[in-house]
Amino acid sequence: MKPVISISMLSADFAHLDRDLKAAEAAGADWLHVDVMDGHFVPNITIGPDQVANFRDSITLPFDVHLMISNPLLYIERFAKAGSDIITVHLECEDDPQECIDLIHRCGCKAGVVVKPDTPVEAVAPYLDAIAMVLVMSVYPGFGGQKYIEASTKRIETLKKMIGDRPVRLEVDGGVNDETLPVILKAGADTIVSGSCLFKGNIAENIKRFRQCF
Ligand code: DX5
Ligand code: ZN
With a 6 Å cutoff on the Cβ, whether 36 touches ligand 1 is no
Determine the Cα–Cα distance for residues 33 and 144; give it in Å rounded to an integer: 12
Answer whether 63's CB lies under 8 Å from 34's CB.
yes
Angle between helices 17-26 and 203-212 in degrees, nearest 10: 40
The domain spans of the chain are 4-211
Neighbours of 88 (CB within 10 A): 28
- Containing 208, the helix (H) or strand (E) segment is helix 203-212
Q: The pTM is what? A: 0.98
112 SS3 class:
strand
Ligand 2 centroid from CA 33, angstroms: 6
35 is catalytic: yes
**Superfamily classification of domain 4-211:** Aldolase class I (3.20.20.70)
Block means of pLDDT (10 residues each) for the chain, 214 residues, are 96 95 98 98 98 95 98 98 98 98 98 98 98 98 98 98 98 98 98 98 98 96
Q: Which residue, by CA, sits nearest to atom 10 of ligand 1?
A: 144
Predicted local confidence at residue 27, as pLDDT: 98
Ligand 1 centroid from CA 173, angstroms: 6
With a 6 Å cutoff on the Cβ, whether 90 touches ligand 1 is no
Determine the Cα–Cα distance for residues 53 and 44; give it in Å rounded to an integer: 21
Determine the Cα–Cα distance for residues 194 and 180; give it in Å rounded to an integer: 11
With a 6 Å cutoff on the Cβ, whether 141 touches ligand 1 is yes
Answer whether 9's CB lies under 8 Å from 17's CB.
yes
Determine the Cα–Cα distance for residues 67 and 76; give it in Å rounded to an integer: 9
95 is catalytic: no
Nearest atom in ligand 1 to 10's CA: 9
Please pick, among 35, 38, 64, 190, the residue that the annotation labels catalytic. Answer: 35
37 SS3 class:
strand
Determine the Cα–Cα distance for residues 71 and 67; give it in Å rounded to an integer: 9
Residue type, 80: A
- Containing 197, the helix (H) or strand (E) segment is helix 196-199
122-147 per-position pLDDT tens digit:
999 999 999 999 999 999 999 999 99
Tell me how far CA of residue 25 lies from CA of 31, 64, 162, 205, in angstroms: 8, 14, 32, 13
Determine the Cα–Cα distance for residues 39 and 169; give it in Å rounded to an integer: 28
